[in-house]
Amino acid sequence: MTDTIITVQGEYSAWYPAERATVRASIHVDGPKRDAVFGRAVEASDAVRNLIESVFDRDAGPVTWWASESVRVWSERPWNNDGKQLPAVFHSAIEFTAKFSDFDELSRWVESVAGIDGVTVASITWDLTESTRTSATSEVRSRAVKDAVTKATIYAQSIGLKSVRAIALADPGMLGDPSGGGAQPSPVFAKAAMRAQAFDGGGGSAQLALKPEEIAVASVVDARFTAS
């Protein structure tokens, strides 16, 4: 008797609390005089750098890594609504990126840096540590394979067969089935967006609180079995 071939796709996802945050702050100053614009940008840059360096510790945190670009200065001559070119406007910009391991310190840092003239907190993204990411990846991949075995077993039993034996495992689309080509690769890390709220810390003034969403780690696997 010829064995029946069963091809399935196993899936598994899990949610993990964020352990790291990467914040990007940008400085943008403009005005009619180049030297004044440059000076204001350097002043703001020094203030941001001091706030970072005051809490930087590669091992203990709360800032474990940071980087910044050089100050850039450029000019443009805008046009008004009547089609007349106006005097030059000078711009100066610099970007900072810092990684935080303490989210309470991150909230305080964002609140401080946002008060500097010309500074905008552009984004905050959340992530896992390297060790957590490695263990999470192993876990969801293993669970995805088990899901594939469960599916194949149920399919086999539904047609009166008793056992299944795996003959192929692959990332989505690699078993030659065109229908699986559009699936997501394994694993997938979904970066959660920032949630921020203000609360009264008891001293009469509002304080910023950042609450990251959990991070989804998912895996998809294609599997082929013989059933008998």
Give the pLDDT confidence of 96-125 residue by residue, as tens digits: 999 999 999 999 999 999 999 999 999 999
Give the pLDDT confidence of 30-55 residue by residue, as tens digits: 999 999 999 999 999 999 999 999 99
Fold of 4-17+131-227: Translation Initiation Factor IF3 (3.30.110)
Yes or no: say if 120 and 28 are a contact pair by the CB < 8 Å rule. Answer: yes
Yes or no: say if 66 and 97 are a contact pair by the CB < 8 Å rule. Answer: yes
Q: Which DSSP string do the residues of 66-117 spell out, in sequence order? A: EEEPPPEEEEE--B-TTSPBPPPEEEEEEEEEEEES-HHHHHHHHHHHTTST
- The Cβ-side half-sphere exposure at 141, using a 13 Å CA radius, reads 15
CA distance 61 to 66: 11
CA distance 78 to 85: 6
Q: What is the pLDDT of residue 117?
A: 94
* pLDDT tier for residue 1 given thresholds of 50, 70 and 90: low
203 versus 227: the higher-pLDDT residue is: 227
Total-model pTM: 0.74
Q: Which DSSP string do the residues of the chain spell out, in sequence order? A: -PPEEEEEEEEEEEEE---EEEEEEEEEEEES-HHHHHHHHHHHHHHHHHHHHTTB-TTT-SEEEEEEPPPEEEEE--B-TTSPBPPPEEEEEEEEEEEES-HHHHHHHHHHHTTSTTEEEEEEEEE--HHHHHHHHHHHHHHHHHHHHHHHHHHHHHTT---EEEEEEESTTTTS-GGGTTSPPS-EEEPPPP-EEEEE-SSSSEEEEE-PPPEEEEEEEEEEEEE-
Q: What is the pLDDT of residue 70?
A: 85
Instruction: Write the CATH number of the domain with boundaries 20-127.
Output: 3.30.70.2970
How is the chain split into domains, by residue range?
4-17+131-227, 20-127
